[in-house]
């Protein structure tokens, strides 16, 4: 691998002159010089990044080396697309919490444990805090004596969706 050459610093605009004293042609030349310097530096950094990707590939981080990392901050960190994919739960955290709190009161920790037990997937390092923030910012939840409960009239949405299918009285409405 070729060793990157150090950037040679070409003299800037005529020494001792301020920008206000330069002609338009001299300013244009200075801008072009700076662009060339930055492009050279970018090329050197890209070559260094390729070298690092090759090293990572050699030890098994294929995502960064094959260029499949995409774009953005996580790609710049060399994370593969699988590592960057956001997990999507079938239901929102608040919906899971509403189902968990239906008919009972729980502490924040109990609610977090109930959400996890219901299959909610999270990568939060402090999920109990996330649950507290979610409930604190939603009018459907209230805190009474240190425990969270649903406000009167709040029902889990999934219970309402299933009720129509299981109710035998609905058959009359369809002429059966």
- Condensed to tens digits (0 to 9), the pLDDT of residues 89-141 reads 888 899 999 999 989 999 999 999 999 999 898 888 899 999 999 999 899 99
CATH number belonging to domain 93-158: 1.10.10
**CA separation for the pair 81, 95 (Å, rounded):** 28
Q: What is the DSSP letter of 150?
A: E
173: helix, strand or coil: helix
Cα atoms found within 13 Å of the Cα of residue 10, Cβ hemisphere only? 12
**Domain spans, the chain:** 19-84, 93-158
User: Is the pTM here over 0.85, yes or no?
Assistant: no
Highest mean pLDDT among 21-25, 31-35, 159-163, 170-174: 31-35
**CA separation for the pair 140, 133 (Å, rounded):** 13
**CA separation for the pair 130, 111 (Å, rounded):** 11
């Amino acid at each position: 691998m070729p060793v990157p050459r150090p950037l040679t610093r070409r003299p800037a605009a005529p020494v001792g002159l301020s920008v206000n004293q330069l002609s338009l042609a001299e300013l244009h030349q200075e801008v072009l010089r700076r662009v060339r310097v930055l492009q050279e530096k970018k090329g050197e950094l890209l070559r260094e990044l390729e070298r690092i990707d090759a090293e990572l590939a050699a030890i098994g981080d294929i995502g960064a080396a094959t260029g499949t990392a995409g774009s953005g901050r996580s790609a710049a960190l060399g994370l593969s697309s699988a590592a960057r994919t956001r997990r999507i739960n079938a239901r929102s955290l608040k919906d899971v919490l509403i189902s968990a709190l239906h008919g009972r009161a729980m502490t924040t920790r109990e609610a977090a444990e109930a959400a996890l037990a219901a299959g909610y997937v999270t990568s939060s390092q402090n999920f109990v805090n996330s649950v507290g923030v979610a409930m604190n910012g939603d009018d459907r939840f209230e805190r009474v004596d240190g425990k969270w409960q649903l406000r009167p009239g709040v029902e889990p949405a999934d219970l309402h969706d299933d009720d129509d299918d299981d109710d035998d009285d609905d058959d009359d409405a369809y002429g059966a």
